[in-house]
Amino acid sequence: MAVEASRPLSVNLQRLRSAAGVGVAELARRSGVARATLTQLESGGGNPTLETLYALANQLGVPLAELIADPPPAPGVHLVRAGDGPRVRGATVDARLLSRTTIDHRVIEIYAITLVGDQVQRSHPHPAGTREHLHVHSGRLVAGPDDDPVEFGPGDYADHPADVPHSYQRLGGTVTATLVITSPSTR
């Protein structure tokens, strides 16, 4: 799963790494991301996988949206047109970040997702206290913690801990859903 390289990713990665007081070599070592890849991302290039982005976000102690998005919008109406928003994609998941905000010391990320293909999207644990909330609009899938997955159909909703290994797998039809990720704020 990859995200299109972007200026927000480059700027955010440099800012967050600097704020953490970590050099490129040290962040590369801690995250398991090649130093050359990290340097390329900070210069605005590359095509990182979702796993790479989460490895960096987890080491920096921030939600994924903190890496890929522009700063949150000012108060007022925030409209995201169909097909807009930072995109992460791969063989199984195509996701667009619609919004992120912080409320009562919780970061809330809202994604419009589509699942295609038959591969399993496996996710490593996110930071402690992170939960994923999934509302399915169309199609069928199995998702949730690896030790307690749930089968979903159109209209179904569930939330689950995401600070444990978890996965998503399409069972039938094109799956469209809204994914909300809540995690403790690092600020």
Alpha carbon of residue 129 to chain centroid:
15
Residue 85 pLDDT: 86
Which residues have a Cβ under 8 Å from the Cβ of 28 and sit 6 or more positions away?
34, 35, 37, 38
Residue 90 pLDDT: 67
Nearest to 4 by CA among 78, 95, 132: 95
More confident residue, 143 or 83: 143
Residue 181 pLDDT: 96
Number of separate domains in the chain: 2
What is the pLDDT averaged over residues 147-172?
Answer: 95
Domain match, 92 and 180 both: yes
142 — pLDDT class (breaks 50, 70, 90): very high
Residue 91 pLDDT: 65
Query: In this predicted model, what pLDDT tens digit does every residue of 53-65 receive, in sequence order?
Result: 888 988 888 888 8
Domain match, 140 and 57 both: no
Cβ-based burial of 77 (10 A; exposed 0-12, middle 13-18, buried ≥19): exposed
Residues 95 and 179 sit within 8 Å (Cβ to Cβ): yes
Whole-number Cα distances in Å, 122 to 18, 167, 169, 171: 30, 4, 9, 15
Assess if residue 78 is contained within a domain: no
1 — pLDDT class (breaks 50, 70, 90): very low
In three-state secondary structure terms, 145 is strand
- pTM score of the predicted model: 0.80
Give me the domain span that covers residue 137: 87-184
Residue 2 pLDDT: 45
Domain match, 178 and 91 both: yes
CATH of the domain at 173: 2.60.120.10
What is the pLDDT averaged over residues 110-122?
Answer: 91
Domain match, 163 and 114 both: yes
Domain match, 105 and 162 both: yes
Which two structure tokens, joined as six digits, stand for 62? 């921030």
Assess if residue 77 is contained within a domain: no
pLDDT at 4 over 50: no
Assess if residue 94 is contained within a domain: yes
More confident residue, 35 or 74: 35
Domain match, 93 and 178 both: yes
Residues 86 and 96 sit within 8 Å (Cβ to Cβ): yes
More confident residue, 7 or 116: 116
Average pLDDT across the chain, whole number:
88
Residue 7 pLDDT: 76
